[in-house]
Structure 1
Amino acid sequence: MFLIIFTLVIVLLALLYKWSVANYQIFEQRGVPYAKPTPLLGNIGLKELFGAAPHFSRQIQEHREFRDSKVYGFFFLRDPIFVVRDLELIKTVGIKEFDHFPNHVGTEQIKTLLSKSLLRLKDREWREMRYILSPTFTGIKMRAMYELINVCSEVGVAYIEQQLKESPSDGIELEMKDYFTRFTNDVIASAAFGIKVNSFEEKDNKFFQIGQTVTKVKTVVVLKAILYTFIPRLMKALRVSILDETTVNYFRSLVFDAIKYRVEHKIIRPDMIHLLMEAQRKANDADSGKKFSDDDLLAQCLLFFAAGFETVSTCLCFFTYELCMNPAVQKQLYNEIQSVEQQLQGKPLDYDTLMHMKYMDMVVSEVLRKWPPASRTDRGCNADIDLRDENNQVVVSLKQGDRIFIPIMGLHYDPEHFPEPEEFRPERFSDENKHEIKQFTYLPFGVGPRNCIGNRMALMEVKSMIYHLLSKFELLPAQKTTKDMMGDILGFQMVPKNKFWIKYVARKTDKNSN
């Protein structure tokens, strides 16, 4: 009996091994260089997968190791990924041959409400939804929404001012991920959902608590996603859900109760719900076949919540970190803020003034270069195509179903594109220098028609908050501030293990400082 069981175990292990490496010949067959994968894990280490080892620094190193290759191979678990690092090929994938690469790569087996969101929609459905939503993010719409965001910035600054008054010393040390998460929570509550929340005073309000369940990537969620990749049929049969239904139902009630109340009382408020209501009305009044359902509307709300929440808070964390570590940059940006204050002559800051601050824009651009919201973007190939270089030579033949990565982090840290890339230099983006930046080397919001639709809103939030913070406080390194940010980031989330600690000191009265 023992012998039979032992034999069965050996056979099962052999079958598992064969299955785990079944796709590992594809790059060799296509003539694409690649790093040797580990069975089942591919080129992802187990510690890296579960957030216990550096991930982004490995991407940068990998990009440099294959610097002589226009395309190289990478295995995410069992899945082969074609990484396109050549600029001409990135242009081909992102723009010139967009019809061959119109969709993001997704786990098709995982069906949730977010499958209806702009990020996950494919082909014609994506085109129709993008057309419907594009007017929502114009400069005019952002200008109308600015005041809601500006108020949240002022509330966040008032919180630090109060903490400084209560502090016995001349400064306070704050953990910025928590701070900016509360700020973005309040922005989304106000500018997206039309509700007033102060997460600095009411730290455990329901909207904030629910938001944490949406944005925090827990180990159990990672495990579910991995199991959907390996055993999709069983996971579907067991009806395992990625999204928490309690969270979905909360947002469903929040959104549609607000819509019902506004319709009944004829309330117009320049926030995301109103803009989506308008988009839904116009789409459903049109003669086109596409209808904008309530689930479509809710899916976009959830997407804007999850994406805006994490992207903006993380960007602000890196922004304040770079300011405290680069005092000369901070001083120059503060001088620009002072100059704007003089121009305003006591009037409140407005959208147009904020968005035309040149040095502010340079610093934001450099923050997004060093710390892009996504380390890579992806595309799926929907029809066979030969990728050709600038000399019309075939680099690689792609097949329908192949997956492509564009390595944003690798491009941003490539010394051929950005000399001494580890250095923080806003001057790279000055009027005198920015023409030297090659097209398709700087992709903080993606590339081509599937770039980030909400980037204007994100930039408005970031600039508004930094303006108000820097006008009131000097940012200094705290005792816990990490000296090696890249080495301190583990796993796939852009959060260092020691978090983001900054010391805030109140500035002297501005009237006397000049």
Structure 2
Amino acid sequence: MFFESFLLNLFILLVLIFALIFDYVTKFFSYWYIRHVPYKMSLPFFGSDYHRVLGLRSTTDEVNHLYSLYPKDKFVGCIKSRIPDLIVKDPDAVRKILSTDFSNFHCRGLGLDKSRDVCLRNNLFYAEGEKWTLLRSRLESVLNKSVDIQDGLHDCLSGINGDTNVQQLLSELLDIVFKDLLIGNNVEGSIITCLRKEFEQRTLQDKLKSYLKDIFPSVYVLFNLSTPFSKLYNKYRNVIKDTKLYNDVKKAEMISPYEVKNSKTKLNKDSAEDEAFSILSLFISEGYAPCLKVLTSLLYELAKHPQIQEKARRNNSALNSAIKETVRLHPPYSIINRKCMKMYTFTKNDFLVDKGLTISVPIEAIHKDENNFKDGLSFKPERFENIGESSSFLPFGLGPRKCIGEELAMDIIQKVANIILKNFNIEPCEATPEKLHVVDYNFARVIDNVVWLRLKPIL
């Protein structure tokens, strides 16, 4: 039905369009209300995610805020733009999502494996389905390594006496470790240093792209945005052929050609150089960076707790407990995301979630919850000496998608920390920060302030 007035028709059309758009963006706003799950109120076009979208809170800060807002509830609901997101606080439900009922939640739902950036499309962290299975199988053979402490590490430590920039020192040590692990002696090791510095640089443009990748991954893929590593790809593409990593990739191709050939997923669309470089970038962003954060946090805590430091220096078991307590208090990743792949019912809590719902597992908040760890904000390694690992201890995740590099990372952290403790007493100094300023970056957590500590040689 039309009216004679053009302006009236236009007005009615605009009202109808607005009503349809409003209905679309607010369709799930009552999702958690009808399921009797506590939730944060939503706004059109933002959902309940407006603090995060506007940059007023980081992803971790927003999830931790909602976690603490409802201390007695096991689940908290929110709306990301227009899609319901469930924050799971109950450790038993977390175990079901990540392990027992993994088939229902095997996908992260980010879609970043569709990116044209070689560093993303072959990244195990973002891969889904059969591609994830093949990449993980391929990467397991590459990760089957042990770490040897070289004389180069002792050379880096020689001459140190006094106030020291901890991140700078640890970066020099880890450069050597990762060069030996991935590059070998036949290739100049600056490729590791260059990639590491590119990751650490975090320019405003990089931060904006990281923000988009976290908040709107589909937009990131649509506009063909790339990681900081991608601009170094052409520079090192030929160099990569002479590395240990490239040889490991080629061996892995020979070991499992039948598996790849008969797969519906074309994993070999990229060349071995492409795959080797993408794995190298994965080692830096998901291996090197977390190791650097954990080691920095560990030395910082040991400096503040001299009795624990002395115990860790004399006893490897005590050092391992201190490392576990560090990754509890300062986990490399604060949140694990999953997507519900089919309708699922939490039987114990008697409520149903629909296919397509996103799940957030708040690792950092669970680790610091007094209900899971007594005096959870304090550094107390003895908790792991007495009770072992708790079901609420999830620094590397859980289940089939648990971090594939956990053993290697813990080995690196233990050996690097051990060599520092054997050579130095670690103390706070005037420039030591009161606390570690940690920020979100590329789905991980990084220390954003410079940490200075006083290292005194043990004679």
Which bin holds the TM-score, normalised by the shorter protein? 0.7 to 0.9
Q: Are 1:25 and 2:10 an aligned pair?
A: no
Structure 1's 379 and 151: CA in aligned 2 closer, same or farther, altered over 3 A? farther
* More RCO (CA 8 Å, sep 6+): 1
User: Structure 1: how far apart are the matches of 2:378 and 2:224?
Assistant: 48
Q: Is the 8 A contact 1:118 1:129 kept in 2?
A: yes
Secondary structure of the residue aligned to 2:85 is strand
Structure 1's 328 and 40: CA in aligned 2 closer, same or farther, altered over 3 A? farther
Q: Is the 8 A contact 1:55 1:490 kept in 2?
A: no
What's the CA shift for 1:451? 0.5
Structure 1's 36 and 184: CA in aligned 2 closer, same or farther, altered over 3 A? farther
Correspondence 1:149-160 to 2 at 5 A: 149-158=149-158
Q: Is the 8 A contact 2:198 2:228 kept in 1?
A: no
Q: Are 1:320 and 2:299 an aligned pair?
A: yes
TM-score (norm 1): 0.75
User: Structure 2: how far apart are the matches of 1:36 and 1:443?
Assistant: 29
User: Structure 1: how far apart are the matches of 2:280 and 2:229?
Assistant: 16
Q: Identical aligned pairs, as a percentage?
A: 20
Q: Is the 8 A contact 1:37 1:75 kept in 2?
A: yes
In structure 2, give the amino acid aligned to 1:429.
F
Q: Is the 8 A contact 2:45 2:81 kept in 1?
A: yes
Question: Could you tell me which residue of structure 2 aligns to residue 446 of structure 1?
Answer: 397
Structure 1's 249 and 13: CA in aligned 2 closer, same or farther, altered over 3 A? farther
In structure 1, give the amino acid aligned to 2:157.
V
| Corresponding pairs, count | 438
User: Structure 1: how far apart are the matches of 2:335 and 2:212?
Assistant: 23
Correspondence 1:337-376 to 2 at 5 A: 357-376=316-335
Structure 1's 329 and 274: CA in aligned 2 closer, same or farther, altered over 3 A? farther
Correspondence 1:255-270 to 2 at 5 A: 255-256=240-241, 258=242
Q: Are 1:281 and 2:254 an aligned pair?
A: yes
Q: Are 1:93 and 2:97 an aligned pair?
A: yes
Match of 1:126 among 118, 124, 132: 132
What's the CA shift for 1:284? 1.9
Structure 1's 132 and 246: CA in aligned 2 closer, same or farther, altered over 3 A? closer
User: Structure 2: how far apart are the matches of 1:305 and 1:137?
Assistant: 14
Structure 1's 66 and 317: CA in aligned 2 closer, same or farther, altered over 3 A? same
Secondary structure of the residue aligned to 1:415 is coil
What's the CA shift for 1:504? 1.0
Query: Can you list the C-alpha shifts for 1:133-176, whole angstroms capped at 9, x where unaligned?
Result: 334434xx32xxx22x5445334323xxx243xxxxxx2x2222
TM-score (norm 2): 0.83
Match of 2:289 among 310, 334, 346: 310
Q: Is the 8 A contact 2:77 2:87 kept in 1?
A: yes
Question: Could you tell me which residue of structure 2 aligns to residue 175 of structure 1?
Answer: 165
In structure 1, give the amino acid aligned to 2:168.
D
User: Structure 2: how far apart are the matches of 1:234 and 1:445?
Assistant: 26
What's the CA shift for 1:502? 0.9
Cα RMSD for the two superposed structures: 3.5
Correspondence 1:73-92 to 2 at 5 A: 73-92=77-96
Match of 1:209 among 189, 194, 210: 194
Question: Could you tell me which residue of structure 2 aligns to residue 254 of structure 1?
Answer: 239
Q: Is the 8 A contact 2:160 2:457 kept in 1?
A: no
Q: Is the 8 A contact 2:425 2:456 kept in 1?
A: yes
Secondary structure of the residue aligned to 2:33 is helix
Q: Is the 8 A contact 1:82 1:405 kept in 2?
A: yes
Question: Could you tell me which residue of structure 1 aligns to residue 365 of structure 2?
Answer: 410
In structure 1, give the amino acid aligned to 2:360.
F
Secondary structure of the residue aligned to 2:427 is strand
User: Structure 1: how far apart are the matches of 2:286 and 2:20?
Assistant: 40
Q: Are 1:388 and 2:347 an aligned pair?
A: yes
Structure 1's 230 and 410: CA in aligned 2 closer, same or farther, altered over 3 A? closer
Query: Can you list the C-alpha shifts for 1:295-333, whole angstroms capped at 9, x where unaligned?
Result: 444432321232112111111110100000111101111
Question: Could you tell me which residue of structure 2 aligns to residue 501 of structure 1?
Answer: 452
Secondary structure of the residue aligned to 1:27 is coil
User: Structure 2: how far apart are the matches of 1:231 and 1:379?
Assistant: 14
Query: Can you list the C-alpha shifts for 1:62-94, whole angstroms capped at 9, x where unaligned?
Result: 323323222211344554321111122112211
Structure 1's 443 and 54: CA in aligned 2 closer, same or farther, altered over 3 A? same
Secondary structure of the residue aligned to 1:401 is coil
Structure 1's 25 and 244: CA in aligned 2 closer, same or farther, altered over 3 A? farther
User: Structure 2: how far apart are the matches of 1:110 and 1:501?
Assistant: 39
Structure 1's 72 and 313: CA in aligned 2 closer, same or farther, altered over 3 A? same
Residue segments in structure 1 that go unaligned for 5+ positions in a row: 165-170, 200-204, 260-270, 337-356, 510-514
Query: Can you list the C-alpha shifts for 1:361-385, whole angstroms capped at 9, x where unaligned?
Result: 1111101110111001111111111
User: Structure 2: how far apart are the matches of 1:279 and 1:49?
Assistant: 45
Structure 1's 361 and 225: CA in aligned 2 closer, same or farther, altered over 3 A? closer
What's the CA shift for 1:404? 0.8
Secondary structure of the residue aligned to 1:130 is helix
Q: Is the 8 A contact 1:157 1:468 kept in 2?
A: no
Secondary structure of the residue aligned to 1:443 is coil
What's the CA shift for 1:506? 1.5
Q: Are 1:300 and 2:279 an aligned pair?
A: yes
What's the CA shift for 1:427? 0.7
What's the CA shift for 1:42? 4.8
Q: Is the 8 A contact 1:378 1:405 kept in 2?
A: yes
Secondary structure of the residue aligned to 2:383 is helix
Question: Could you tell me which residue of structure 1 aligns to residue 374 of structure 2?
Answer: 419
Q: Are 1:456 and 2:407 an aligned pair?
A: yes
User: Structure 2: how far apart are the matches of 1:239 and 1:198?
Assistant: 31
Secondary structure of the residue aligned to 2:360 is strand
